[in-house]
Structure 1
Amino acid sequence: MGAQVAKQRIVEAEEKRLREKEEEEGIDFPGSNYRHHNHKEWMATLPLESIKVRDVLWPGTHDSATDKIGVPFISRPFARCQKLSIYQQLCRGARVLDIRVQQERKVCHGPLTTYKVDVVVADIRKFLDEMPFEFIILQLRTGGEWEDPPGFDAWLIANLGEYLVAQDEGVLEMNLLQLLPKRVICIWKPKEISYYPQPGSLLWSSWYLQDDWIDTDLPLTKFDSNLVTLGKQAANEKRGFFYRVENTTTPQVSSPVCCVFPVTNRIRGYARFFISQAFKKGIADRLQIFVEDFLQEDFVDACIGVTLARYYHQLLLHEPELLQEVLSQHQELVAATSRRRCK
């Protein structure tokens, strides 16, 4: 009991310091005031012919398909990282999905399982059929102590092949328009190395999506670690892979609080502060994939704002006040276009 009390005091001290740092330094960054009118089609409103795949700040979710995992009120609070279905997350603006699977093709998180990955694929297909100019980075990996699902690579290609962008490092240099009609970069990480996707495959190997995840429930520790490891990366334009930052904290068995939501909520509200710190430290050009638990539209807006600010990079460098005016005009144009479509 004494150890748990001491741990809680450490958590509270880190929460307090993180809150104070945000108050002292603020959360402004280029594009921070941008708000999109319709998160379901935000990529369609980008200048697709100009923005490169590597220049998007892709918003995503961690343990994406855990909305129905475990037993309600019993095991679910210890494993659920999202309350929304995959389709709902995509409609809310997520464009990177993190899916763990096991040998029966069920989604898993640790020892718990939920619906089959077929549900995930059906939701993705439904969304893509509705939204012809949206793009998704889909990562699937065999979870924890589970075994690889037999023939999973062939199954994925059979069910998503018409949308899949073939594995090619040069894709990162392409603009989004060049990818069409293909719209899914699918990364598959099996346990068995011999099953890894090969060059030219419709599936991408796990090398193409890297991160520096640390297992901690301490918010300031995770925040600072994310900044340090991001700073060690090469800029997006010089990297041949996607780099992910997870704005999450993880329950620990040694802690008195073990449910996902209250633990991850310690850092969840600091996504904008993290982006602002990346700009202040001169490492925002490394930000590429940013994910969180329990997806919020404000999180998505922050990523869209950065993406558009990068497009208007000359204004970002030399006329930041004019940049905000241009982004405001883009926001009004998107809203007007959406209203016309609804009539």
Structure 2
Amino acid sequence: MGFFEDLADSFVKEVVDPTVSFVEDSAKTVVREVVDPTVAFAEDSAKTVVREVVDPTVTFVEDSARTVVKEVVDPTVTFVEDSAKTVVREVVDPTVSFVEDSAKTVVREVVDPTVSFVEDSAETVVREVIYPTAAFIATQFQRPRDVMEQEAILDKLLASNGSRFPGDDYHPHDRKNWMGNLSIEKLTLNKIVWPGTHDSATNEIGIDVVTRPLGECQTLSIYEQLVLGTRVLDIRVQEDRYICHGILASYNMDVVIDDVVRFLWETHSEIIILDIRTEYGRKDPPEFETYLTVKLGQFLIQQDDNLFNKALSEILPKRVICIWRPRQSPRPSRGGLLWNSDYLKDNWIDTDLPWTKFQSNMNHLKQQPPSSSRRFFYRVENTLTPQADNVVVWVRPVTDRIRRYARLFISRCVAKGCIDKLQIFSTDFIDEDFVDACVGLTHARIEGKV
């Protein structure tokens, strides 16, 4: 072991130590002769770069920045500020003024008128809707009371004065031929009290149950009415020759003519007044005068003012006085086969109040000349009309308010001294009693009792 240790020590001393010293000396020499000069050169170079490159560059950048600020930024800021002021002065301020002016204009021309319109509309609604509605509702409560009060007046008259008049107990044994069964040599046109029907051809008008009650004034056909004793027919037509009542329509005029002709062939001494008119608001049927003269020619009584005092025996076998009342077409000429509207007059008032109608009929009748001296027929209609401002619009319940007072009207004519002026007496829903009252009065005139 001592040998090897000595050998190692000798190796360290003679090889390792000299090598280490050489390396250390070499490192120092490298530091002194290479590293230090290199570091010194680098430092000098860095200082030179800072002095000759960085510092001039920094100075240039700073000068450039100042120049940019002075020549670009400051003018731009100034331009922007000036532009902003210009925009404010030339755009914003005028816009604000325009908006303010527009707002004032909108207030003046839109808002204020709108407010006024709304206020006016509100007043209009109150005046034209609310008040009328309130009045309508009040009417619905008041109208039944008015009807009851007026019926009570008529009932009181009936109870105190009765319905007696000359001929009131007369009953024709054959209503179909009641004229012929009277003395046709004594019976002149102006002595007849003609039982008539109002809106005669309205049976089957409209739709059953739905619209029919609004327009139906008779339930019998034209032929059935004539057989019952009716002698004056009120016929309303429209452009297509259909029978109408207001907006409702029933059957063609041919049905009426056929019923009339059938009745005329079955009787011999009955004279009919056929009053035909174009319904209000409708157009005349084309060539209707020619149609009537062709259909009824052989029965037509030519217009003649001297007929009124003539007995039936002098007029027969002609049987029909046909009065045609067009709305736009020329009226029938005097002396022709058709009579114009001058020969049938009335004073219709549109009401659903019975005493109001009763009084109106009486007052207008008093103003007429006696039937013996006039040269036209005058009609009194014992009917009422449903009114749009009342919920009761069916014909039957409205007209029934006055129908039962037909005999009372005749008796009042006697009491008021105008019985000699009563001529055509018409009704809705004609019945035997109404016919009998008219025929009875006619019989009394022939007998000289009136």
Q: TM-score, normalised by structure 1?
A: 0.90
Name the structure 2 match of 1:111: 247
- Residue equivalent to 2:388: 253
Aligned to 2:91: none
Aligned counterpart, 1:121 = 257
Matches of 1:188 and 1:137, distance apart in 2: 11
1:2, distance to aligned residue in structure 2 (A): 2.6
Q: Does 1:159 align with 2:295?
A: yes
Q: Which amino acid aligns with 1:245?
A: V
**Aligned equivalent of 1:140, options 250, 273, 276:** 276
> Following the alignment from structure 1 to structure 2, what is the Cα–Cα distance between the partners of residues 171 and 307?
18
* Deviating 4+ runs (over 2 angstroms): none
Partner of 1:94: 230
The residue number in structure 1 matching 2:340 is 205
Task: Give the conservation status (yes or no) of the 8 Å contact 1:59–1:299.
Answer: yes
Deviations 1:39-86 (A, max 9, x none): 111111010011111110000100000001100001100000000000
What is the identity, as a one-letter code, of the residue corresponding to 2:339? W
Give the letter aligned to residue 48 of structure 1: I
Q: Number of residues paired by the alignment? A: 314
> How far off its partner does 1:8 sit?
1.4
Q: Does residue 186 of structure 1 match 2:322?
A: yes
Q: Name stretches of at least 5 consecutive residues in structure 2 with no aligned partner.
A: 1-136
Residue equivalent to 1:278: 413
Does the residue aligned with 2:392 lie in a helix, a strand or coil? coil
1:264 counterpart letter in structure 2: T
Q: Is 1:219 matched up with 2:343?
A: no
Match of 1:35 in 2: 171
- CA distance in structure 1 between the partners assigned to 2:275 and 2:267 by the alignment: 20
CA distance in 2, matches of 1:111, 1:232: 34
Greater helix share, structure number: 2
TM-score in terms of structure 2 length: 0.69
Q: Do structure 1's residue 171 and structure 2's residue 307 form an aligned pair?
A: yes
| Superposition deviation, residue 175 in structure 1 | 0.5
Post-superposition offset of 1:111: 1.0
Deviation at 1:19, TM superposition (A): 1.0
Counterpart of 1:285, as a letter, is D
* DSSP 3-state at the match of 1:114: strand
Query: 1:111-151 CA distances to partner (integer Å, 9 max, x unpaired)?
Result: 11110111000000000000111110000000011100000
State which of 28, 47, 64 in structure 1 corresponds to 2:200.
64
Given residue 305 of structure 1, which amino acid in structure 2 is its aligned partner?
G
Q: 5+ residue gaps in structure 1? A: 318-343
Query: What is residue 292 of structure 1 aligned with on the other side?
Result: 427
Q: How does 1:259-274 map to 2 (within 5 A)?
A: 259-274=394-409
1:324 aligned residue: none
Instruction: Provide the C-alpha distance between the structure 2 equivalents of 1:240 and 1:37, rounded to a whole number of angstroms.
Output: 31
Larger Rg: 2
> Could you tell me which of 50, 67, 74 is aligned with 2:186?
50
Does residue 74 (structure 1) correspond to residue 210 (structure 2)? The answer is yes
Q: Secondary structure at the match of 2:307?
A: helix
CA distance in 1, matches of 2:160, 2:393: 30
Asked if the contact 1:111/1:144 (under 8 Å) is kept, the reply is: no
1:238, distance to aligned residue in structure 2 (A):
1.5
Partner amino acid, structure 2, of 1:256 = V
Distance, in Å, in 1 between the alignment partners of 2:304 and 2:342 is 12
Structure 2 CA distance, aligned partners of 1:96 and 1:107? 16
Q: What is the SS of the residue equivalent to 2:372?
A: helix
- After superposition, what is the alpha-carbon deviation per residue over 1:265-303, rounded to whole angstroms, capped at 9, x for unaligned? 000011100000001111000000000000011111111
State the partner residue of 1:12.
148
Seq. identity, %: 50
Match of 1:308 in 2: 443
Q: Does the 8 Å CA contact 1:53/1:174 hold for their aligned counterparts?
A: yes
Measure how far apart 1:221 and its partner are.
0.4
